Amino acid sequence: MEHTIKDHKINPAKRFGLHYFPDSLHYGDQDIEKWLPKIKELGASWLVLIAEEKRAIPEGFIKSLIKSEITPILHFPFFCNSSVSHEELSPLLEAYSHWGVKYVIFFDKPNQRSSWGNIEWAKENLIERFIDKFLPFFREANKYNLITAFPPLEPGGEYWDTIFLQESLELMKSLIPLEQLNEILLSAYAWNHDRPINWGSGGFERWSMAKPYFTPLNSQDQRGFRIYEWYQSIGQNILQQNPSLLLLQTGMPGDPSQHLNNSVNSKIHSDNVLSILRSLAGENVYDPLFPEEVIEPISEQVISCNFWLLSTEKGDPYQSHAWFTPSQQPSLTAQFVLNWHQENFLDSSTDETSDMADEDNQSEPKIFSFTRYLLLPSLEWLLNNELRTLIQTYIETYHPILGFSLEEAKKAAVVTVVGDETDFSEEQLDQIRQNGCFVSRISLEKESRILDVNMEQKNHATHY
């Protein structure tokens, strides 16, 4: 029976995925027995697997994942100058479809010289030549009811990625029926480039001054976690519908091969990963690097957000990136995720008939009613024009809810408190913090200095 993207109803709380290993050497029975429990313990629902063109990932490995409600994404990362043909891949695609695989990706970073080699890269009509290579694989996968993702591009890249994507989709639209093209997914490397999670939020519409190869001062571009918003806009304009997206290598500062000597399991990295996961689960979350910035909601069109990297062999160049050591010891990042998943999604009740348990045996995530709340001492204080002027910049920048209630403040993700301890004691503010809110205090004695909002931070803000 033929299936389409629209047939796949993705639970918004089950969009968390991982890249398995950085190679195709760990698909044996012992491997799945060893690592499947860890993947489930983390709460991951997707797994990106490196696929070869010469041999299949074993049927038992694939079916074990699917039986555990973990969706495999098979990535065939061959170069654009590869001699692999769609005909020789056909038997593998047929087998994968029969085993329950739904998602495949062909090629990797076709907007980079390294994928082509110097001679092929220098030839004219790069887009036309790539689509000539890509379409046969797309059609072959479609024949076996496999959903193909357009390959991930190097953000920015030697051939600017947004232009490469736009020209590729426009050419494909002229070559195949729109209803077939609408079955394509988009994929993107959601590297953060050491920028805030909200960097680039709003895409082309908000950052209209950003141009290929040039991002003006005080502007932002697609080179960050929000890259999918820029791709989504391109896809919507050409495909006449909102495309679904797969995010790859999420949380990395950049191409993993360029960060081999940098450990990515620092406290900052772990905080970023957890913040993205909480956002995927529907929570209102503030950016760990910029606590005054609330992370914008992640589009429902992002059906899978996959983090790099589950594990490696001992001594592998990517070992410092791994969430688990070869002996399954968790990194700081993995421990953060394990703790969060256990606290929020594992039902400790032994009563299987409990009315509090839902069909997935999960609890609801924390969701705040407000993004920002400005807690003021009193209405009289607010009506005092002289003092009100001091916080005008903050109000104009962040548009918070204004109020005077400690209980109401607990409903906001970020709470900014005006006044000293005679107005609100630290014990009272700790009660708000215990509800998961980020709380900061503005001292009346220092308002004239503190409330002049830091302009660099303002440039990272993502209010509309």
Q: Please answer whether residues 151 and 107 qualify as being in contact, where contact means their C-beta atoms are separated by less than 8 angstroms.
A: yes
**What residues contact residue 250 under an 8 Å CB cut-off, 6+ apart?**
190, 225, 273, 276, 305, 306, 307, 308
Q: What single-letter amino acid sits at 95?
A: A
pLDDT recorded at residue 387: 66
Q: Can you name the residues that pair with 187 across neighbouring β-strands?
A: 246
CB-based contact 113:158 (threshold 8 Å): yes
**Tens digits of pLDDT across the chain (464 residues):** 444 444 444 565 699 999 999 999 999 999 999 999 999 999 999 999 999 999 999 999 999 999 999 999 999 999 999 999 999 999 999 999 999 999 999 999 999 999 999 999 999 999 999 999 999 999 999 999 999 999 999 999 999 999 999 999 999 999 999 999 999 999 999 999 999 999 999 999 999 999 999 999 999 999 999 999 999 999 999 998 999 999 999 989 999 999 887 667 788 899 999 999 999 988 888 888 777 778 888 999 999 999 999 999 999 999 999 999 999 999 999 999 999 888 877 654 434 433 433 444 443 446 677 788 999 988 887 777 666 777 777 787 778 899 999 999 998 888 989 888 888 999 999 888 888 788 888 765 444 444 444 434 444 443 33
The dihedral region occupied by 251, where left means phi > 0, alpha psi between -120 and 50, and beta the remainder, is left
Total-model pTM: 0.80
| Structural domains of the chain, with CATH | 5-345 (3.20.20.80), 370-460 (3.40.50)
Separation between Cα atoms, residue 19 and residue 16, nearest integer Å? 11
How far CA 425 is from CA of 56, 329, 421, in Å, comes to: 63, 42, 4
Q: Give the pLDDT of residue 10.
A: 54
HSE at residue 86, side-chain half, CA atoms within 13 A, is: 15
What secondary structure, in 3-state letters, does the chain show? CCCCHHHCCCCCCCCEEEECCCCCCCCCHHHHHHHHHHHHHHCCCEEEEECCCCCCCCHHHHHHHHHCCCEEEEEECCCCCCCCCHHHHHHHHHHHHHHCCCEEEECCCCCCHHHCCHHHHHCCCHHHHHHHHHHHHHHHHHHCCCEEEECCCCCCCCCCHHHHHHHHHHHHHHHCCHHHHCCCEEEEECCCCCCCCCCCCCHHHHCCCCECCECCCCCCCCCCCCHHHHHHHHHHHHHCCCCCEEEEEECCCCCHHHCCCCCCCCHHHHHHHHHHHHHHCCCCCECCCCCCCECCCCCCCEEEEEECCCCCCCCCCCHHHCCECCCCCECHHHHHHHHHHHHHHCCCCCCCCCCCCCCCCCCCCCCCCEEEEEECCCHHHHHCHHHHHHCHHHHHHHCCEEECCHHHHCCEEEEEEECCCCCCCHHHHHHHHCCCCEEEEECHHHHHHHCCCCHHHHHHCCCC
Structure confidence at residue 24 (pLDDT): 96
Q: What is the largest CA-CA distance in the chain?
A: 77
